[in-house]
C-alpha cells in the first residue's frame, strides 16, 4: 500500500489517498486492513476520518503524519 498526500474538501484539509502497490515490495491493501485502519481511527489513539474507500481526511498535518507513521510498516 502507498500513501499519497492530498488536500480534501473546500477547506483543503490534509488528506491521504491509499493506493495499491505496483510491485511486491508494496502489496495491495485488503478489505481486512481497511477495516483495521478504520477501527483504529475511531479509537482513542487514532486520527482521521474515512471519506471514501481509499480517501482519509485529518484536521492537522501532524495527525496525518501520525497516521502515516502508524500504518506505513503494514
pLDDT at 73 over 90: no
pLDDT at 24: 59
Structurally, the chain folds into a number of domains equal to 1
* Predicted structure pTM score: 0.81
Average pLDDT over residues 61-68: 93
- Residue 50's CB: how many other CB atoms inside 10 A? 15
Residues 8-57: pLDDT tens digits?
A: 999 999 999 988 767 656 667 888 988 999 999 999 988 899 999 889 99
Q: For 2-50, what is the HEC assignment?
A: EEEEEEECCCCEEEEEEECCCECCECCCCHHHHHHHHHHHCCCCCCCEE
CB-based contacts of 18, cutoff 8 Å, min separation 6: 1, 2, 3, 4, 29, 34, 54, 55, 56
Q: Which residues constitute the domain of residue 53?
A: 2-71
Amino acid at each position: 500500500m502507498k500513501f499519497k498526500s492530498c488536500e480534501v474538501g473546500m477547506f483543503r484539509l490534509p488528506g491521504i489517498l491509499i493506493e495499491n502497490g505496483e510491485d511486491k515490495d508494496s502489496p495491495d491493501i485488503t478489505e481486512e486492513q481497511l477495516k483495521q485502519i478504520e477501527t483504529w481511527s475511531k479509537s482513542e489513539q487514532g486520527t482521521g476520518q474515512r471519506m471514501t474507500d481509499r480517501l482519509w481526511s485529518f484536521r492537522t498535518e501532524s495527525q496525518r503524519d501520525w497516521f502515516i507513521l502508524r500504518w506505513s510498516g503494514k
